[in-house]
Amino acid sequence: MGLVLNEEQRMLQRSAQEFFSARQPLKALRTLRDNQDATGFDRELWRAMAELGWAGILIPEAYGGAAFGYQGLGLILEEAGRSLAASPLISTALLGGPLILSAGSEAQKHAWLGAVAAGERVVALALDERSRHAPTSIATRAKSQGSGYVLKGSKVMVLDGHVADQLLVVARTSGADDAAQGLTIFVVDATARGITRTRLTLVDSRNAANVAFDNVEVAATAVLGMPDSGYAALAPVLDGARVGLAAEMLGSGLEAFERTLNYLKLRVQFGVPIGSFQALKHRAALMYCEIELTRSVVLEALTALDEQRGDVPQLASLAKAKACEMLELVSSEAIQLFGGIGMTDEEEIGFFIKRARVAQQTFGDAVFHRDRYATSMGF
Amino acid sequence: MGLVLNEEQRMLQRSAQEFFSARQPLKALRTLRDNQDATGFDRELWRAMAELGWAGILIPEAYGGAAFGYQGLGLILEEAGRSLAASPLISTALLGGPLILSAGSEAQKHAWLGAVAAGERVVALALDERSRHAPTSIATRAKSQGSGYVLKGSKVMVLDGHVADQLLVVARTSGADDAAQGLTIFVVDATARGITRTRLTLVDSRNAANVAFDNVEVAATAVLGMPDSGYAALAPVLDGARVGLAAEMLGSGLEAFERTLNYLKLRVQFGVPIGSFQALKHRAALMYCEIELTRSVVLEALTALDEQRGDVPQLASLAKAKACEMLELVSSEAIQLFGGIGMTDEEEIGFFIKRARVAQQTFGDAVFHRDRYATSMGF
Amino acid sequence: MSTLDSFRVATRAWLEANCPASMRTPMPEDERVWGGRQPSFKNPESKIWFERMVSRGWTVPTWPTAWGGGGLTTDEAQILNDEMTRLNCRTPLFGFGISMLGPVLLKYGTEAQKAEHLPPIARGEIRWCQGYSEPNAGSDLANLQTKAENRGDHFLVNGQKIWTSYAHLADWIFCLVRTDSAKHRGISFLLFDMRTAGVKTRPIALISGASVFCETFFDNVRVPTRNLVGQLNNGWQIAKELLQHERGMISQIGRAIGGTVPPVEVVAKQYLGDATGKISDPVLRDAVARQVMNDRAFELTIRRAGQESAAGAADGGASSMFKYYGTEQNKKKFELILKCAGTQALGWTGPDFTPDELTLCRTWLRSKGNSIEGGTSEIQLNVIAKRVLGLPD
Amino acid sequence: MSTLDSFRVATRAWLEANCPASMRTPMPEDERVWGGRQPSFKNPESKIWFERMVSRGWTVPTWPTAWGGGGLTTDEAQILNDEMTRLNCRTPLFGFGISMLGPVLLKYGTEAQKAEHLPPIARGEIRWCQGYSEPNAGSDLANLQTKAENRGDHFLVNGQKIWTSYAHLADWIFCLVRTDSAKHRGISFLLFDMRTAGVKTRPIALISGASVFCETFFDNVRVPTRNLVGQLNNGWQIAKELLQHERGMISQIGRAIGGTVPPVEVVAKQYLGDATGKISDPVLRDAVARQVMNDRAFELTIRRAGQESAAGAADGGASSMFKYYGTEQNKKKFELILKCAGTQALGWTGPDFTPDELTLCRTWLRSKGNSIEGGTSEIQLNVIAKRVLGLPD
């Protein structure tokens, strides 16, 4: 695994640390929440991130990207996770851009990727239709009509769906409702007639929308890549998103843990810092082990993605499952160890448990990924 | 639940405490083990237990029993569990006798129950055929032949099978291999031609055998109750055995816990008793809670058995599952908290973890019973 | 017919005649009656019911009639409770005055204090709050620093309390204050009016949204010396008794909260049930089974403790065990519900979530406080280890 | 070609020429070569292989040739290791002399001590054991009470050790003894011959059956003063260094033991696999997945620590984390295997169980010791909390 950072990566990490701590600290999310901001992220900051090359970090230079790879993006997401920063990094840099890159024709790549890398377009993936991730359970149908298609169905938890310029819609053109075969991806203008977007106000104050397609007419050129075989293009991108999200979760877990550790050292009860109580020490040590293990699997999965290794699907499930387990533990323990003060909205630690549960459900929870891992191991 | 003991029950409890601590302390099991005793329990003591009425404790007085009920037997088994006493209490008092009572004709009851209650006959149930409990997965077949049957198949983990006088064999007379319908129970002389018994030497030094039936001819009168519907008679008796075993496990858990607690108070390291370390205190408190919960479900299940309530199956699964979880925890923690000395054969605490795992697997482990409980709750 | 039987017959008849129809239905949180100087009755029948019960002294059935109580014996009070349960009668009046301060005054109060405070509590005229925790006195409650200087005819109180439930709505407060430097032997128990000059409250927002808790500030608050309950510097004894009582109440919180959210297996079936009602994900199904089985075992243990206590075999650590296990079990329940319901349980507001789903999410967050308030889980485990298991300090 | 490249070529050629065929196969436990005064070679080729490696000094490749070593640089030793791994060459000689005492003598020993002890270790002529723990000095090792009285030309040693691995087969012992009452500053490090009058050993039976551990008793054992290693009362320093080393070795135990038992998913498939190989019980399947995923994460973490250490970013608490996590994970693995294999994993002896099944059961029991020996899990967590996380005492 690519653990020891090279000079370029170290610079990237430093600039990410500086960017998020200076310009997107945790209180930025609180402000967006309290102001009920209509966009849900800061467009100004997103442009700044694009200028740093982050919006197009997975896009080759030929299409206007920075081509820094998953290991680079992982560093950025880890820092973003520390401050729970809201931005289209996941929807657009981790999913939208790479999916167009993976599935699209040359013409489509040239049409969209430059704008994505420039931070000018938010592109959202409209995939899930249920309250738990099930990427092949697709009932949204695309029927041929004339030279084009008509889309009908509804999608849930479309990240940044309410502000996206384009939606990448996974729809069924053939096959049974839960088959991987028969899925087609469409690039659809988010304001097309027949599309209704409802922004979701989630517990983590981050951005998602439910999107309904009521006989939305699209041209044949809207098909991204080949009809019926969209899942083959989607699968590796989805695995990349799982790993990227795991990197974000690693950052959140680290930050919550460090804040808790700090509190254990400062909070005095019975005349001593509560961190001197052995039961709490042991629980802290346990969390440390889980975080270390998570770091290892995230780094290995990021490396495998950059090397396009065959074990990416397995490692993606390993990374996401482990990140889910770790962050559930750490975010819950953080509240308990902060005690009453951790239950107040004024103290920031509560933001971590809120984000944790949404991130756990996004792109498959630990149960989903343990099952997938077992299948990949043949048992 | 019948928690507050009446005078009769208190006397029974006292006599059980005295009997096991004086005549069957834990070292009795060690002696049986080290001597590679052929019987595996002390026949003398079993006769003494029968004289106290324990062998026939579930048998009505009309058939020579003491009719003290499951709550009474639970008290005895709990004490037996404390000293890990080896005896035919489970095979004969909890299973063999009650199954004849439940399934047998008047003639069969009169023929067998008196001798069972007198401690003169060991009667073993030959049920399971797999390494994990599956009471309806029966491939042993009984084919009609002339006026009788021929038995063919093999059974595992027949408790006291090697010393039993009679075997109660659950065999398939119709139906598919895993159907509850089509099972018939036969009373078979354990020395009948075609029966091969291999005594198992298990980690817990208690008694069980594998039994093979190679075309064993039995008369029609060997059928206990009605052909094809043996499972209906077996099911409640099996639930009684699960609860009784849970009572034994409760006793073992309590004893292992108390010994561990005592060690925590006596063992000095770093100048203080190790029981003063908070991390160990919290783990001890957790075990205490689990033991208390187990006691509640065992008592409730024993009461339900005596009251022949409709929720016996559900409570039996609750009691056995909880006893399995509790005893796995307590017996494992006991070794860890005793430290190196707990790893030696000389120290008795190791006998508890050995017995625990066998008891966990007997009549269904926690996974089996959680599944069964869920089904009974309709989810 | 025995006297008790006659009492039962008469009580049943009175309840049937006097308990309004809507007072025999499950009570929404916002229809609870708390009394006080500005009482509010969302449901008009709750006012009728409240007044009728006050007239019998049955808001506090076992208190002496001289103090506004019902004067019932324990047996009679049990019968009243049974009959109210039978008819599903709502509790007519809630409050810390009834559940916490009243018993303290009955045991430690002077005759004058009883006469002044008990009848208004029984009649729901004064709503009380409890001033215990401070920013630096949480688990280590005895470290409290709110100072009460003895000025002869009054105490001068300065300091800050936190987690004062309903302080912004309360009329009076009972409050632990420091009257001496000795940690445990320097604490006293004072009562004072929340309208006294120098008292200020500030509601606390919780991670689950709005809350009933406040920060409460005391700036040169003058409290008449006659409002000291029990002896000077002996407040810790009273506090300990109240804490044990509170623990018992909070271990019920989970069950009460649970009452407003469907059982976990129902939620799991709703989101994951197949055509036969079986939970389609076998791993979550196993987790749900484990949860409901432990819930059942816990309920049985509470029942058993009740029987043991009735039989005189009470266990000193029971309240700590119930507080610990009940609140941890409740937290696990909500985590499991979140896993079963997926993103539908993660909504904060908005039309894409049902009201039940939004409640799920808020209640999940609120459940995290159960293992902190009223003594943390860690403190309960310490207590079990020490008092029940006899492990050394 | 660089010097190192030439070394690699030459080494490879020598190994290919000199390592017998059977020495390139996985080594059964009972074919390990321990050396000593009565060496045993179950497989005759292991004697040939041992002697050839001794002749090169490659039983201890980095030790100076003067002391019987190979005199290799770190880089050369790495190459030797790589090439042996490539050919699956067995380790020619095992023992505490090589892994533990040798490094201590090289650092702390006098020239005379090195000359006396190192060559026999390198040549496998003397087998050593380690006298550390005592009945009342387990986790609190520094509490050891075995006393060594300084009698001028000799120490008079009295006391008892426990958990002395292979003491009954060892020729010499290195031993921590008390030479002063100061807890940590009163410990010294002595060497002596196990044939000395007054030394007795008694093997300890473990719950898993026979064991390699002994109790070792010292009754007026006379140890020449020249056998003191390092300074008087400075043995604790040496002990600490050795303990850290031991921890690293034991965290491998799980993996080594695991090597003699099939992976958990293989056992699970054997007992629970359906026709397609899928584990038929979905709840146990999930538990197996969790186990193998954590195993994988742990392996990756060990690899990462190796990379970090190579990059100079070593983490002081890593050995404690590995000891803790590795041994706990190993215990979980066996508990899970027991659940999957059911009663077939619970046999002690007899024909109704396969040899593999009997091994499973014994190894499960033995695994319980992993989280105790070499510093308990509790001690490791303390170390992580203190050294890595900086939590206060």
- Which domains are assigned to chain C? 3-94 (no CATH), 126-234 (2.40.110.10), 252-388 (1.20.140.10)
Q: How confident is the model at residue D148 (pLDDT cuts 50, 70, 90)?
A: very high
Say how far apart CA B29 and CA B18 lie, in whole Å: 17
Q: Which of A26, A34, A37, A132 to mutate to test the interface with C (most CBs of C within 10 A)?
A: A132
Is A34 an 8 Å CB contact of chain C? no
The answer to whether A367 contacts C352, with C-beta atoms less than 8 Å apart, is no
Look at strands B223-224 and B183-189 and give their pairing. antiparallel
Q: Return the percent helix, strand and coil in chain A, to nearest 5.
A: 55, 15, 30
Which residues in D lie closer than 8 A to residue C283 (C-beta atoms)?
282-283, 286
Q: How confident is the model at residue D313 (pLDDT cuts 50, 70, 90)?
A: low
pLDDT per position in chain A (379 positions), as tens?
566 678 888 999 999 999 999 999 999 999 999 999 999 999 999 999 999 999 999 999 999 999 999 999 999 999 999 999 999 999 999 999 999 999 999 999 999 999 999 999 999 999 999 999 999 999 999 999 999 999 999 999 999 999 999 999 999 999 998 999 999 999 999 999 999 999 999 999 999 999 999 999 999 999 999 999 999 999 999 999 999 999 999 999 999 999 999 999 999 999 999 999 999 999 999 999 999 999 999 999 999 999 999 999 999 999 999 999 999 999 999 999 999 999 999 999 999 999 999 999 999 999 999 999 999 999 9
Say how far apart CA C385 and CA C392 lie, in whole Å: 8
> For chain B, which residues make up each domain, given as ranges?
7-121, 124-228, 231-376
**B333 or D258, greater pLDDT:** B333
Q: Which of B200, B203, B341 to mutate to test the interface with D (most CBs of D within 10 A)?
A: B203
CA distance A207 to chain C (A): 12
Query: What pLDDT was estimated at residue C199?
Result: 98
Taking CB atoms within 8 Å and a gap of at least 24, the contacts of B218-222 are B218/B142, B218/B148, B218/B149, B218/B150, B218/B151, B218/B186, B218/B188, B218/B192, B219/B147, B219/B148, B220/B147, B220/B148, B220/B149, B222/B148, B222/B149, B222/B186, B222/B187, B222/B188
Give Cβ neighbours of residue A231 (< 8 Å, ≥ 6 apart): A135, A136, A170, A180, A181, A183
Question: What 3-state DSSP class applies to D162?
Answer: strand
Nearest Cα to Cα of residue C181 among C135, C133, C223, C147: C147
Of A128-142, C69-83, D236-250, the one with minimum mean pLDDT is D236-250
Say how far apart CA D293 and CA D305 lie, in whole Å: 18
- Nearest residue in chain A measured CA to CA from C162: A340
Q: How confident is the model at residue C22 (pLDDT cuts 50, 70, 90)?
A: very high
H or E segment and range at residue B297:
helix B278-306
Query: What pLDDT was estimated at residue C359?
Result: 94
- Nearest residue in chain D measured CA to CA from C280: D282
> Helices marked H in B142-273 — which ranges?
230-266
Please name the member of D269, D300, D391 whose beta carbon is closest to the beta carbon of A300: D300
Q: Is the pLDDT of residue D256 over 60?
A: no
Q: What is the mean pLDDT of residues C324-335?
A: 96
Q: Is the pLDDT of residue D319 over 90?
A: no
Q: What is the mean pLDDT of residues C291-315?
A: 84
The torsion defined by the Cα of B57, B60, B64 and B68, in degrees rounded to 10, comes to 30
Please name the member of D296, D304, D378 whose beta carbon is closest to the beta carbon of A318: D296
Query: What pLDDT was estimated at residue D254?
Result: 44
Of B4-8, C200-204, C343-347, the one with minimum mean pLDDT is B4-8
> Does the reported pTM lie above 0.90?
yes
Query: What pLDDT was estimated at residue D258?
Result: 39
Which residues in D lie closer than 8 A to residue C282 (C-beta atoms)?
282-283, 286
The correct answer on CATH 2.60.40.10 for the domain covering A124-228 is no
Chain B neighbours (≥3 Cβ pairs under 8 A) are A, C, D
Nearest Cα to Cα of residue D367 among D273, D230, D261: D261
Query: What pLDDT was estimated at residue C361?
Result: 97
Residue pLDDT, tens place only, D13-45: 999 999 999 999 988 888 999 999 999 999 999
D347 neighbors B209 (Cβ within 8 angstroms): no
The single residue listed with the structure tokens 């890593």 is: D318
Which residues in D lie closer than 8 A to residue B344 (C-beta atoms)?
204-207
**C30 or A102, greater pLDDT:** A102
Which residues in B lie closer than 8 A to residue C289 (C-beta atoms)?
370-371, 373-374, 377, 379
Q: What is the mean pLDDT of residues C312-339?
A: 88
> Helices marked H in chain D — which ranges?
3-18, 44-56, 74-86, 96, 102-108, 111-122, 235-260, 264-272, 282-310, 318-341, 355-367, 377-383
Q: If 0-12 CB within 10 Å is exposed, 13-18 middle and 19+ buried, where does residue D318 land? A: buried
Question: What 3-state DSSP class applies to C325?
Answer: helix
Q: What is the mean pLDDT of residues D152-162?
A: 97
Query: What pLDDT was estimated at residue D210?
Result: 84
Which residues in D lie closer than 8 A to residue C284 (C-beta atoms)?
none
Q: What is the mean pLDDT of residues C88-101?
A: 94
Is B35 an 8 Å CB contact of chain A? no
Q: What is the mean pLDDT of residues D99-120?
A: 96
Query: What pLDDT was estimated at residue C245?
Result: 74
Query: What pLDDT was estimated at residue C256?
Result: 41
Q: Is C246 a catalytic residue?
A: yes
Of C76, C246, C265, C328, catalytic: C246
Please name the member of A201, A343, A358 whose beta carbon is closest to the beta carbon of C369: A343
A64 neighbors A56 (Cβ within 8 angstroms): yes
- Nearest residue in chain B measured CA to CA from A276: B278
Overall fold of domain B7-121: Butyryl-Coa Dehydrogenase, subunit A; domain 1 (1.10.540)
A188 forms beta bridges with: A167
The residues of D annotated with a catalytic role in the active site are 246
Is A357 an 8 Å CB contact of chain C? yes
Give Cβ neighbours of residue B374 (< 8 Å, ≥ 6 apart): C279, C285, C286, C288, C289
Query: What pLDDT was estimated at residue D374?
Result: 86
The answer to whether C342 contacts A132, with C-beta atoms less than 8 Å apart, is yes
Q: Which tokens belong to B359?
A: 């008891």
Question: Mean pLDDT in chain D?
Answer: 93
**CA angle, corner D193, sides to D192 and D198, nearest 5?**
90
Q: What is the mean pLDDT of residues C47-54?
A: 97
Q: How confident is the model at residue D316 (pLDDT cuts 50, 70, 90)?
A: low
Q: How confident is the model at residue C258 (pLDDT cuts 50, 70, 90)?
A: very low
Q: Which tokens belong to B218?
A: 């039995």
Which residues in B lie closer than 8 A to residue D253 (C-beta atoms)?
none
- Nearest residue in chain D measured CA to CA from B266: D136
Query: What pLDDT was estimated at residue A116?
Result: 97
Homologous superfamily (CATH) for B231-376: Butyryl-CoA Dehydrogenase, subunit A, domain 3 (1.20.140.10)
Please compute, for residue A73, the number of CA atoms within 13 A of its CA located in the half-sphere on the CB side.
Answer: 33
C176 neighbors C235 (Cβ within 8 angstroms): yes
Residue pLDDT, tens place only, B1-50: 566 678 888 999 999 999 999 999 999 999 999 999 999 999 999 999 99
- Nearest residue in chain A measured CA to CA from C142: A270
- What backbone phi and psi angles, to 5 degrees, belong to C240? -60, -40
CA distance A270 to chain C (A): 6
Q: What is the mean pLDDT of residues B210-224?
A: 97
